[in-house]
């Protein structure tokens, strides 16, 4: 059996119905995990679950708002046992401090910070009861370096990074590992939509410009983020906890 096998493991992936979450869900399903996709959109999540089952895997869908703790506790109670939690659900906001309203800040906080907290709050007691587990949080390079016009988003991902360290420290004796991933730009439908909305008629030009901000010369593929997630959630990384992994095409170290 491969060290990357997730056979017999129950994996919960928030925001698993699109983008990076979709890629993680599909890869984990292909590696034998029983994948539970938590997403605000049941339709998108069901499409991913169907792909997993059609390929011979096992998947379930839970339509839930990660910002609602009561809903999240109920979903995790139904799932019952959790070996792997991937805190992937998140939303973005473009704007510096002066262009970030209180409503903008609350919206980002509720999903990116409170949503991650709610997942952790629901999953950790289950992991403790069964003798351990693995948690992977989706942070961002915005938590590590200054990104123009990303005030609220950067704040939220900085909090995710800090939660990762705190959980890793507090629950290491419960055999719970907790790490995070900090991607740079990833080519997802969100990116295509953002460019189309803000730069109509200049889509190709802006895509090339945004891609070039990574020293490697392109955006990451969702599947590349998923491959790192698989490593960090598998037994191959059994000695790793409390670590953030930039996956950024050289952005944080070579953009000087």
For residue 133, the cross-strand partners are 176
Each residue of 76-131: pLDDT tens digit?
A: 999 999 999 999 999 988 899 999 999 999 999 999 999 999 999 999 999 999 99
Q: Give the three-class secondary structure for 198.
A: helix
**The model's pTM:** 0.95
Quick one: pLDDT at residue 46?
A: 97
DSSP H helices, 9-137, are 19-30, 42-54, 69-79, 102-108, 114-130
Residues assigned a catalytic role: 153
The predicted structure's pLDDT at residue 163:
98
What are φ and ψ of residue 137, in 5° steps?
Answer: -100, 145
Locus of tokens 């990357």: 4
Residues 50-68 pLDDT 10s:
999 999 999 999 999 999 9
């Amino acid at each position: 059996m491969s060290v990357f096998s997730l056979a017999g493991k129950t994996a919960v992936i928030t925001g698993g119905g699109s983008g990076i979450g979709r890629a993680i869900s599909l890869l984990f399903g292909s590696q034998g995990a029983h994948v539970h996709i938590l997403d605000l959109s049941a339709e998108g999540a069901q499409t991913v679950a169907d792909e997993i089952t059609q390929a011979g895997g096992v998947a379930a869908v839970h339509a839930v708002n990660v910002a609602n703790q009561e809903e999240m506790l109920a979903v995790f109670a139904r799932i019952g046992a959790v070996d792997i939690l991937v805190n992937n659900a998140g939303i973005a906001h473009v704007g510096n401090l002066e262009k970030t309203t209180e409503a903008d800040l609350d919206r980002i906080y509720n999903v990116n910070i409170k949503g991650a907290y709610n997942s952790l709050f629901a999953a950790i007691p289950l992991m403790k009861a069964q003798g351990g587990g693995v948690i992977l949080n989706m942070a961002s390079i915005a938590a590590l370096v200054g990104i123009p016009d990303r005030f609220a988003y950067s704040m939220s991902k900085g909090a995710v990074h800090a939660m990762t360290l705190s959980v890793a420290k507090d629950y290491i004796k419960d055999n719970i590992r907790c790490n995070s991933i900090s991607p740079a730009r990833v080519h997802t439908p969100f990116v295509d939509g953002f460019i189309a909305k803000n730069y109509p008629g200049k889509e190709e030009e802006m895509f090339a410009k945004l891609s070039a901000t990574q020293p490697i010369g392109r955006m990451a593929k969702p599947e590349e983020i998923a491959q790192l997630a698989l490593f960090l959630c598998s037994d191959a990384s059994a000695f790793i906890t409390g670590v953030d992994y930039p996956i950024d095409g050289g952005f944080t170290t070579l953009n000087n």
